[in-house]
Amino acid sequence: MTCRPSRILLHCRTMKTTAQEIKNLRKKAKSWAAILFYECTRGKTNLILFSRRLHSLYEPVLRPEIIGEIIRNDLAQTESEEEAHAIKKRIMSRLTPDKVRRRVLSFPKIHFRKVQEQKQAFSLTLGRLVIIWAVLTNQPVEDLVVKILPNINRLYREWHDATGCIGLSDTGCSSHSKETAIFWSGFYRILIATTPEENLIWFMHGGLRALSALLETAGIGKAIVMLVGQAIRLITKDATQKFKSALKENPQVKKRIDIPELQALVLREEIKLGWSNNTQEDAQEILRDGLSQELKEATDEKEEAIRSSMEVVGRRGLFNNLLVAINGQLISRFVNTIQRFLQSISARVVSTWEFEPSTSIKEQMNNISQWLFRR
């Protein structure tokens, strides 16, 4: 069976569109976090509102048909030996202690109404984790254990020497997050490094096929929507708590953030995302009102300087501009940008001589020219 060029083109367009959607989603999610942090400094944190906003960003991308299309595209691709090696290397690079600490160990704790006092019959030990990984990646269990056991023993001795804890209990791990991150980073990296590329790709494709089959189950769409909604509410609540805690420990940040320049950028972003009924002119007016009296007078009847400056500074993204504001540099960045635009506007003004030079002046100029260029 041959593949038509039109199908290949459609496949490429689909992949490009999906990748662009995910990239745009990341930018919008960072803007959402920046706006939430800004509102926390002003004491305006409507959790329901911000949950709805975040849900509106993820809902178009996390539809079952979109996820299914991504999975089918990934399964259709056959990784070469070079690509498989690159995938393995990329996974290893994401398992640094710092990233493990931020992405795995810092998950919000979900408190259940019913406390389980009895000891669970099944607990995940290191040995069981290794066996599970061997089965999932289609590797002989004994061979894998022999390969990785010395390195795991070394990691555990380093963990024990650093923490004084016996066993990797939940209490011990939570009390020593830095040492725990180093241990689990090393553990994961040992598993990945020891697993051959073809087994790793086999495992990834197996997971994708299982997820694809799950998406075809009746009612899975509603389940995904429900789970996404629950996750978003937890993310919003947890982010708000962390932001308020950070502001409590760093009260000086509030003064650096509560400025007209950042307020204008926040309103500009809310307008772009469809979260505000205001206009870009309203955001520009907020920026103009925050300028010094000298700059206000200089920008009279020169709205182009305000509008262009807002566009240039806004291109960096709201999240990046929030960091600039925290460092106390956003005001100076706006001032410098506005001044450059005012200079460019002034440079475009053409001066004209209102009076014709007199005859005597023309004659003198001619005489001077003749003398300068005499032979």
CA atoms within 13 A on the CB side of 64: 17
Shared-domain flag, residues 278 and 226? no
DSSP alpha helix (H) spans, the chain: 5-41, 47-58, 64-76, 81-93, 97-103, 126-136, 141-163, 170-175, 177-194, 197-215, 220-249, 252-257, 260-272, 280-289, 293-298, 303-314, 318-326, 330-347, 359-372
The residue with tokens 């996750």 is 231
Lowest mean pLDDT among 24-28, 123-127, 273-277, 291-295: 123-127
Per-residue pLDDT band for 146 (boundaries 50, 70, 90) equals very high
193, 214, 235 - which closes a domain: 214
Shared-domain flag, residues 262 and 209? no
Whether 114 maps to a domain, the answer reads: no
Amino acid 170: pLDDT? 76
Whether 55 maps to a domain, the answer reads: yes
Three-state secondary structure call for residue 172: helix
Task: Using alpha carbons, list the distances in angstroms from residue 97 to 159, 189, 275.
Answer: 13, 10, 37
Q: Which comes out higher in pLDDT, residue 15 or 303?
A: 303
Shared-domain flag, residues 343 and 280? yes
Q: What is the mean pLDDT of residues 327-348?
A: 85
Shared-domain flag, residues 337 and 228? no
Whether 145 maps to a domain, the answer reads: yes
Mean pLDDT, rounded, of the chain: 81
Whether 24 maps to a domain, the answer reads: yes
CA atoms within 13 A on the CB side of 268: 25
Shared-domain flag, residues 241 and 333? no
Shared-domain flag, residues 207 and 240? no
Shared-domain flag, residues 243 and 188? no
Residue range(s) defining the domain that contains residue 98: 80-108+125-214
Amino acid 8: pLDDT? 38
165, 197, 214 - which closes a domain: 214
Shared-domain flag, residues 48 and 37? yes
Domain count, the chain: 3
Shared-domain flag, residues 92 and 131? yes
Shared-domain flag, residues 201 and 292? no
Shared-domain flag, residues 152 and 193? yes
Shared-domain flag, residues 6 and 66? yes
